Amino acid sequence: MNIVEDKKAPRAIEAERGVLGAMLLSAEAVDKALQSLDASCFYLPQHATIFRAAEELYKENMPVDIVTLSDYLARKGELESVGGRIQLTNLIEGIIAPSHIDHYIKLVLDAALKRKLIEISTKTIEECYESAVDASDILDNAESRVFEIAENRLKGGLAPIGDDIETVYEMLSNLQSKRGIITGLTTGFKKLDALTMGLQKSDLIIIAGRPSMGKTAFALNIVRENAIRKNIPVAYFSLEMSRQQLALRLLAAESKVDAHLMRSGLLRRSDFARLSLHLAPLKRAPIYIDDSSNLNVLELRAKARRLKRRVNLGLVVVDYLQLMVASKDVENRQQEIALISRSLKGLAKELDIPVIALSQLSRMVERREKSNYKPQLSDLRESGAIEQDADLVIFIYRPFLYDIFQIEIDEEVDGKLRKKKVNTERLAEIIIGKQRNGPTGEVWLNFQKEYASFEERIEGVEEEVEEGEETQFGGV
């Protein structure tokens, strides 16, 4: 079965002639055609040859007309194969008005796109008949090919840097006029956003920590900030918790109601009042949760692509990376994690949005000396590829979980940093372990365990350790 052989392939021969004829008569038509088309868009080989010749003349800053084109094709030994000079003359004579070039281009593109879709469909059918190919791989391949056409058919490949330099300069000028304004998605924490300038498009962001540090809670803080406060669509892929569990945590954090009381049925009337107040905003929020277990990276990418096209997706969260499976057989777990990490980075670039992936840290953290439990890049579990692929790595460290009850931290008071001993029960250090285009550093937040949410630290509210009281370290 061959669809292309059974039926004539879509074509727009007269429109192809119209494009080429207009190019021979108008420099403006040449600009428009070269911006929108390439030789593969032409059905007839001789038309593709003529277009390529015009493209080469354009690159050499030569005029594109019947004289220069005939000479170029003759020198290349291709003039006769396209029908000779008389064929070029016929192209010109068939033109009603070069100004119709936009319409001709549209017809040529439409036919070329249909041929490309037939090619993709035929390839998909062939793969379906090959028993060695998994159906999930076929589905992802087909979806990826169609998505690529839809998103990139007018985009070039390799391009000179001149235009990009101009774009970057304009961006810098714009940023200079808006000094201090966050350029990416905000996290809801001012000091953290000031360090990162927000979560940037096409970036892979890793949020890492040992169990119970609050990775999911921190991710949900970011989800609430963007979906509820700013109406930005967010896709949350949860491989550990169910949709209902996440909904409960979102409701608890947003309404500041104790999640344990919610689960145990011990809510007071005032709690219900707060819950009711926050139900409507949460119901309206563009948060899309997928709690499929054993999700592989191809399925995740396919679902994210569909949502991007449907609701203009602005953020993807994966909770968490080590629970995902690769879409193909690999030799070991390190290779599998590396494949998943690269795929998530590819997804961020493809959709041009930030992708957040939560990640576990290795047990090596707890094997270090008691005073050195802070996570490091080398603690990223199972693969150095995570560190390599990530644009931003954020560690969550809560010293209280290591029986470190009081610590000394630097805090700004009246514009000056001063040492301050604080209790750690609610203290969380957010550590920027890597930032590809910015500084590393740390930010201190409070963790509200009752409703699993992080909050900004407010000066003068946190309990200070009395002078002379010793900092305590307990066993783990």
pLDDT digits (tens, 9 = 90+) for 368-393: 766 678 888 877 766 677 878 889 99
Of 300, 320, 341, 361, the C-alpha closest to 217 is 320
Question: How do beta strands 441-448 and 427-435 pair?
Answer: antiparallel
Domains and CATH numbers, the chain: 3-152 (1.10.860.10), 184-456 (3.40.50.300)
**Separation CA 217–CA 239 (nearest Å):** 15
**Does residue 472 register a pLDDT over 50?**
no
**Separation CA 419–CA 319 (nearest Å):** 36
**Separation CA 36–CA 147 (nearest Å):** 19
**Does residue 454 register a pLDDT over 70?**
yes
- Mean pLDDT is lowest, of 25-29, 180-184, 360-364, 369-373, for 369-373
Report the residue count for the chain: 476
Distances (CA, A) of 100 to 21, 48, 58, 425, 433: 11, 20, 21, 72, 57
**Separation CA 224–CA 232 (nearest Å):** 10
Place of tokens 């805090």: 411
Q: What mean pLDDT, rounded, does the chain reach? A: 82
pLDDT at position 151, please? 57
**Separation CA 291–CA 418 (nearest Å):** 45
**Separation CA 114–CA 381 (nearest Å):** 46
Whole-model pTM: value is: 0.65
Distances (CA, A) of 204 to 13, 236, 387, 392, 435: 45, 15, 10, 7, 11
**Does residue 1 register a pLDDT over 70?**
no
Q: Which parts of 382-442 fold into alpha helices (H)? A: 384-389
**Does residue 475 register a pLDDT over 60?**
no
149: left (phi over 0), alpha (psi -120 to 50) or beta: alpha
**Does residue 260 register a pLDDT over 90?**
no
**Separation CA 139–CA 144 (nearest Å):** 8
**Does residue 49 register a pLDDT over 60?**
yes
Name the residues annotated as catalytic: 240
CA angle, residues 27, 30, 36, in degrees to nearest 5: 145
Strand partners, 418: 411
User: Which one of 122-131, 175-184, 349-358 scores highest in mean pLDDT?
Assistant: 349-358
The helix/strand/coil state of 272 is: helix
Mean predicted confidence (pLDDT) in 253-275:
82
Using an 8 Å Cβ cutoff, are 185 and 232 in contact? yes
Q: Which parts of 232-361 fold into alpha helices (H)? A: 243-255, 259-264, 269-284, 297-311, 333-351
**Separation CA 398–CA 212 (nearest Å):** 9
